[in-house]
Amino acid sequence: MIENIDFRINSSYNQSNEIFYQGMKGEKLMRKSFLKRVSVSLVIIILTTINIYANQSNLSDIKGHWAEPTIQKLVARGGISGYPDGTFKPQNTISNAEFIAILMRTTTGKTFTRQQGQHWASGEFEEAYKLGIVTNSELSSRDFDKPITRLEMAKYTERALLNILGEEQVNSDGIEVLIGDYNKITKRSEQYYIKSVYARGIIVGDDKGNFNPGNNATRAEASTIILRTLEKPERQEVKIPEVGALTLRHNDPNRPMAKEGDTFITPDGRSVVLKVDPKTGILGFGQNVATEIGRAHPNGKLIEHGDLGSNKEFLGSPYLVDNNTGMGLYRSQWLDVQSAIDPYKEVPNPKEGQVYMDYFIFMHGIWYWNGPVR
């Protein structure tokens, strides 16, 4: 494995440094340090030669394999390499650590090191944690040397696309009809990652359309996913079916984000066909509904008043519900409402205490905003 080659070089280099500094106290140790450093250099040359051979020669066991073109491209750009014997072993499994190491190296362009005594991929782990590619609980699971599953690849890949490569969240509503085993994927967070990478054309289904989230990934599959992550033209073309009007129930946490034409069933039993308000351009404004309350975030947490938006349009904007009307909007939407309505122009002769559009009140000759955002 190329990761082990890198590890052996780094390990020898660290050892030589330690001997060198200790040798400052005596000529004998300095001579030993010199010989050690020479031997390390020879090891690096030998291992580099082996690695070049694995990279540049024809890998003997991929000819005719479905992933042959992908493997050759990724090997050519240095993303992964074969074994010293000239094989690639495309059907072998790949561990969490190996996949994360390759993902971090190829997406960041960085070279990572480790401290003596630490896991060989500790440098990649640390960077992945800093950038939000892995979570604290995932790091502490101690499962990084076990084979990676397709679900785990989906999680790490989607996070890298957002947090490192700067791609936007993709609209995956409706993609579930293409995933044959989607009904077996019960966790909201897992659904989010699987739908996202599927919609991007990075990890798609098998010949039956199944995603197989629990299956261990092979080196061939991992190579394909890494290359598609790095190069958009390599991605599969996925046509997301158009989703017609839906009936969304307030107590269904797995409902998608509401859109124009959907019918929303409120907690008091009202059926509201959602429309875009022509004056403000805001979906549902004036219909007094809070379509986001009780809907699940990608991490499974149900949205409450004050929670920050997690989709790309309202990312970081708190969701606020007006106590008087029950209207729920993100803060950025409430600000749009304020700027879109001008009661000074729209109400010629206001009276003291007059309310306009539910959220403006006229008092002492001045129109005051009376909505959630002050």
Q: What is the pLDDT of residue 342?
A: 94
d(CA 346, CA 15) in angstroms, rounded, equals 78
Contact call for residues 151 and 118 (beta carbons, < 8 A): no
Q: What is the pLDDT of residue 254?
A: 85
Q: What is the pLDDT of residue 141?
A: 66
- Angle in degrees, CA 340, 277, 349, rounded to 5: 50
Q: What is the pLDDT of residue 166?
A: 93
298 token code pair: 């990608």
| Segment-wise mean pLDDT, segments of 10 residues, the chain, 374 residues | 33 30 35 43 39 56 93 90 91 95 95 87 93 86 86 96 93 87 86 93 90 95 96 93 87 91 95 94 95 90 94 90 96 94 94 95 95 85
Q: What is the pLDDT of residue 313?
A: 84
For residue 29, the Cα-to-chain-centroid distance in whole angstroms is 50
Q: What is the pLDDT of residue 174?
A: 83
Q: Please name the amino acid found at residue 302.
A: L
Contact call for residues 334 and 321 (beta carbons, < 8 A): no
